[in-house]
Structure 1
Amino acid sequence: MPTRPEPSCWLAAPLRWACRGIARLPQPRLLQLGAVLAWLLTPLLAGRRRIARINLALCFPELDPAAREALVRANTRDSVTGLLEMARAWYAPASALRGMADVEGLEHLQAAREHGRGVLLLTAHFPHLDLGARLLGEVLGEPLNGMVRRLGGNCGERMMQEGRRAAFATVIGKKDVRGLLRVLSRGGMVVYLADQNFTYNSAFVPFFGVQAATLTTTLELAHRAGVAIVPHWCQRLEDGRYRVRFDAPWDEASGTDPVAFAARYMRELEAVIRQHPAQYLWWHRRFKTRPEGEVSPYL
């Protein structure tokens, strides 16, 4: 039976034109534009800001209400700016990205790739995730592979898939385990995220002192593929440049306990977030799934 053609999108051409222009902006101008757009869009983001407010109250109880509200505003700015950084990741020519990132711990990645081994590049949901992967690919001289959620068929979502296919060597669906193992077995480097709320293959482990349902299959996937797990973190610095940091591989010292691995992942991620707390996806209902007897904080 023939498949139905995807509906046309009259916005696609002007959106691509706008994204290409944004991708070439000087970094100070891009950050300024992000701040202005965040201010303009704030009324439309009330639902997302409410989720962020709840998450930050759970994770930073030591902050007074005024300080947490300032963090909500900063997170709104960085989240909206992340959309512009996404456009840069997809459409910027290599020349526009040169010198934008400092890479630390590259020796850990190089050691993990010895003898042609693949690498599971473990990270988390930061607003500039796509740009960090593109910058790293430029430094290494080869594009990375990404395992991301495949979205629906509306105009914006199709553009996102198109952009990611341009920025990544391969885009692997979130649940496409065979595709992931195939790329890793060929020596590929795959950007992998497991820090959102999961209702399957998960365990409750502490994240900022709150029990959070966290995926427990990461270690098993790496063992099945025979690859190293190398955590990497990308943060935007005060001067607008980026720092990409690799940690030493975790798989060798993590044993075989998937819950202990998930707990370590959340512990290390928390330490990274505390350095730049506005640069994280606080708009996500991270604590939606609760242990038995607890109520979702988002009700």
Structure 2
Amino acid sequence: MADTDTLQRPSFAPRHWPMWIALGVMVAAGRLPWALQRGVGRVIGAVAPWLAGSRRHAADVNLALCFPEWTPAQRLALRNASFSALGVGLFEFARAWWGTVTPMRRDVVIEGMEHLDALRAQKRGVLMVSGHFMTLEICGRLMCDHVPLAGMYRKHRNPVFEWAVKRGRLRYAVHMFTNEEIRGAVRHLKQGGFLWYAPDQDMRGKDTVFAPFFGVPAATITATHQLARLTGCAVVPFFHRREGGRYILRVAPPLEDFPSADATADSARVNAAIEAMVREAPAQYLWIHRRFKRQPDSAPRLLYRRTPPSP
């Protein structure tokens, strides 16, 4: 694993105190008994819709767009279930970064590991593509028990939180690349490394195309296409979910004939793979992200900022 001691810790200047306090709470929360974490997480999830404001509204908009055939009652039930999963997911994040995952290791099911074993035998780089599910952090750590994963993420503006993210993830990942460290990620893949990232958020970068996600145009980064084109790596969908106290990690076969010459078509294939994951465990997806905020010029803008409805 990477050496976390080489990370330079930000100062304790007064302007950083709120984030340091928040991190202290996170560290303490990550070390609570797992049964207590799950119970408190569900309570937080039940209260969260009343406090989430615009994020609750974003979830409502997303669900209406992605499941137009559902009744309002069905979408409301899914939204509330997603907040419950989010409450538990907060503790999973904290435990992955600052606690122990021994309780989780007792009941993990990994499907499709043979695909990674075959690629590793070929010494071929692997880009493991996932979505922003509540189990992202804990399942990433559990997968690192079996393969040496590096990660790619968007750099955070707050230096204290940025330090915490890298320090927490480098407890189990071999390296963490920001989305600006493309050369390092390319080198890692060319050397036969494993890289995991989730391309299902609007990064607002220049290298984006509009590709369908649940039939709705979504600004999608072309990094999956570009990294595969530059390195010859395999692109492997990686799905993870929680079933009661059990964690299911599933590795799909590499995408065939990927990349093509068409970045938009490749991005649509990636979105389709993530959509299939979401449909399997919709309550565990991060619906509070404004996934469809940017739209093609010919389409009307979606008003995520309007006054949110009551829970």
Per the alignment, residue 93 of structure 1 pairs with 100
Residue-by-residue CA offset, 1:254-286 (whole Å, 9 max, x unaligned) = 533221111111112112111111111111111
Residue-by-residue CA offset, 1:16-42 (whole Å, 9 max, x unaligned) = 5414413xx23x433222111223443
Tell me by how many angstroms 1:176 deviates.
Answer: 1.3
Tell me by how many angstroms 1:11 deviates.
Answer: 2.1
- Percentage identity across paired residues of the two chains: 37
TM (normalized to structure 2)? 0.85
1:259 aligned residue (231, 255, 264) = 264
* Counterpart contact for 2:10–2:160, Cα < 8 Å: no
5+ residue gaps in structure 1? none
Alignment size in residue pairs: 291
* Counterpart contact for 1:11–1:155, Cα < 8 Å: no
| Aligned mates of 2:155, 2:72 — CA distance in 1 | 37
| Aligned mates of 1:67, 1:204 — CA distance in 2 | 28
1:29 aligned residue (15, 30, 36) = 36
Tell me by how many angstroms 1:165 deviates.
Answer: 2.2
5+ residue gaps in structure 2? 1-7, 306-311
1:159 aligned residue (155, 158, 164) = 164
* Counterpart contact for 1:150–1:161, Cα < 8 Å: no
Per the alignment, residue 43 of structure 1 pairs with 50
Task: Give 3-state SS (helix, strand or coil) of 2:249's partner.
Answer: strand
Tell me by how many angstroms 1:95 deviates.
Answer: 3.3
1:172 aligns with 2:182: no
Tell me by how many angstroms 1:143 deviates.
Answer: 4.0
1:52 aligns with 2:62: no
TM (normalized to structure 1)? 0.88
Task: Give 3-state SS (helix, strand or coil) of 1:175's partner.
Answer: coil
CA separation of 1:220/1:233 partners in 2, compared to 1, >3 Å: closer, same or farther?
Answer: same
CA separation of 1:180/1:91 partners in 2, compared to 1, >3 Å: closer, same or farther?
Answer: same
> Bigger shift: 111-120 or 153-162?
153-162
| Aligned mates of 1:17, 1:75 — CA distance in 2 | 24
Per the alignment, residue 102 of structure 1 pairs with 109
Which runs of structure 2 are paired with 1:44-193 in the superposition (5 Å)? 44-93=51-100, 95-138=102-145, 140=146, 142-153=147-158, 155-193=160-198
Which runs of structure 2 are paired with 1:205-244 in the superposition (5 Å)? 205-237=211-243, 239-244=244-249
Tell me by how many angstroms 1:235 deviates.
Answer: 1.0
Tell me by how many angstroms 1:219 deviates.
Answer: 1.9
* Counterpart contact for 1:134–1:143, Cα < 8 Å: no
What is the aligned-residue RMSD (CA, Å)?
2.3
| Aligned mates of 1:73, 1:157 — CA distance in 2 | 30
CA separation of 1:177/1:292 partners in 2, compared to 1, >3 Å: closer, same or farther?
Answer: same
| Aligned mates of 1:107, 1:143 — CA distance in 2 | 15
Tell me by how many angstroms 1:157 deviates.
Answer: 4.8
> Bigger shift: 73-82 or 10-19?
10-19
Residue-by-residue CA offset, 1:97-118 (whole Å, 9 max, x unaligned) = 3233211011111112223222
CA separation of 1:21/1:221 partners in 2, compared to 1, >3 Å: closer, same or farther?
Answer: same
Residue-by-residue CA offset, 1:143-172 (whole Å, 9 max, x unaligned) = 411101111226445433321222322111
CA separation of 1:96/1:61 partners in 2, compared to 1, >3 Å: closer, same or farther?
Answer: same
> Bigger shift: 96-105 or 119-128?
96-105
Tell me by how many angstroms 1:59 deviates.
Answer: 0.5
Per the alignment, residue 24 of structure 2 pairs with 14
Tell me by how many angstroms 1:227 deviates.
Answer: 1.5
Task: Give 3-state SS (helix, strand or coil) of 1:168's partner.
Answer: coil
* Counterpart contact for 1:197–1:286, Cα < 8 Å: yes
> Bigger shift: 59-68 or 91-100?
91-100
